[in-house]
Amino acid sequence: MSKDLQILIPMGGFGKRLRPLTWSRPKPLVCLAGKTVIDYVLEMFNSIPDFESAELVFSINEAIEVLIREHVAKYYPDRKVTFAIDRAMRGQSDAFWQAREVLKGPLLVVFSDTIIENDFSFLKDETADGVIWVKPVPDPRRFGVTLCDEEGWITELIEKPSEMTHNLAVVGCYYFKDAEILLSAIGEQIERKLYLKGEFYLADAINILLNRGLKMRTEKVATWLDAGTPEALLATNRYLLERNLSHNKDLTNLVNTVIIPPVSIHPTAKIENAVIGPHVSLGEGTEIANSLIKDSIIGPRSHINHSRLEMSLVGYDVTITGQTGRFNLGDNAQAIQ
């Protein structure tokens, strides 16, 4: 790459599939294995050559702007970050179009609920016009897939194919050597009104590029994690906790408590007469008493007492007392018996 890389992360969606967890908190800021989703998304780019000089471009809607800006200012104060406001909310391609004034040169795109494990160092020597990250899947009918010719060049993207012949599922990460070329295709897409149910999808813009002769190839990933649904978020939490082998041996605010690793427990959490784990993430300032919690994510400053929780998603500042079962609760909720 002869120019500094831009990394565009569209995050203007409403996270409907995670509600009520995301009623008041955007999906990128949902807790996950001791951090937030967006923190893990950014971590996966550490192998990019000269990553520290890359510009982060966050495409956001006005409703989440304050929370995203606060998180970036707190945890990434030294990063070069540009915010592009997606006011129209007309899908993936249109979000890029709304940010067209700031996009230029080599561009890496990743959707905000996509976490992959991949070595990005090859980008410094990449000669193709574009790269699409894919993963072979046993049943491709639920995904967008790539079709390739005998030499490995992508010929077409197909959304949710009816047959099983092509199984390289698109994971939501893309590289374009020149952002301006992508934007020209998006402009054509919008002019031709290539949309579905009122939304402009990136696949249509990429197919325009392929029809123009752009050379794009696939890059296979070994690990593809998702954070877009409650089930996927919990599965990703399990994987990350197991990979990081979090045991939290230095915790001091534990009284008569059993910890079953792997877990992630913030040092400020207070726990008494409880069993925590496996696969539990407890945020800053949480207080747990007389409870059993496993396979769950508990947000900061939440209080849980006399409860048994499993496979639960709990937001910030939530109070749960005398409950048993599986819960999905947004910020400031109460479940008190």
- CATH of residue 183: 3.90.550.10
> Are residues 20 and 95 located together in one domain of the fold?
yes
Is a pLDDT exceeding 90 seen at residue 231?
A: yes
| Residue 239, in any domain of the structure | no
| Residue 194, in any domain of the structure | yes
Alpha helices for the chain (secondary structure H): 37-43, 65-75, 92-98, 179-191, 202-211, 230-244
Percent of the chain with pLDDT over 70: 97
Is a pLDDT exceeding 70 seen at residue 127?
A: yes
> Are residues 99 and 162 located together in one domain of the fold?
yes
How many angstroms separate the CA atoms of 83 and 76, rounded? 14
> Are residues 14 and 87 located together in one domain of the fold?
yes
**DSSP helix/strand/coil, 27:** helix
Arithmetic mean of pLDDT, 39-52: 91
Is a pLDDT exceeding 80 seen at residue 3?
A: no
> Are residues 187 and 255 located together in one domain of the fold?
no
Arithmetic mean of pLDDT, 287-311: 98
Domain boundary among 204, 231, 258: 231
Is a pLDDT exceeding 80 seen at residue 18?
A: yes
Task: With beta carbons less than 8 A apart as the criterion, state whether 313 and 296 touch.
Answer: yes
Domain boundary among 170, 204, 231: 231
Domain boundary among 231, 253, 274: 231
| Residue 170, in any domain of the structure | yes
Q: What is the separation of C-alpha 74 from the centre of its chain, rounded to a whole number of angstroms?
A: 19
Task: With beta carbons less than 8 A apart as the criterion, state whether 152 and 171 touch.
Answer: no
Question: Which tokens in the block code for residue 181?
Answer: 């070329």
Q: What is the total residue count of the chain?
A: 337
| Residue 236, in any domain of the structure | no
| Residue 238, in any domain of the structure | no
Q: Using pLDDT thresholds of 50, 70 and 90, give the confidence band for residue 141.
A: confident
Give residue 214's domain range.
6-231
> Are residues 198 and 120 located together in one domain of the fold?
yes
Is a pLDDT exceeding 90 seen at residue 226?
A: no
- What total number of domains does the chain contain? 2
**DSSP helix/strand/coil, 180:** helix
Backbone angles phi, psi at 182, to 5 degrees: -60, -45
Task: With beta carbons less than 8 A apart as the criterion, state whether 298 and 313 touch.
Answer: no
Predicted model pTM: 0.90
Question: Which tokens in the block code for residue 305?
Answer: 């007492």
| Residue 198, in any domain of the structure | yes
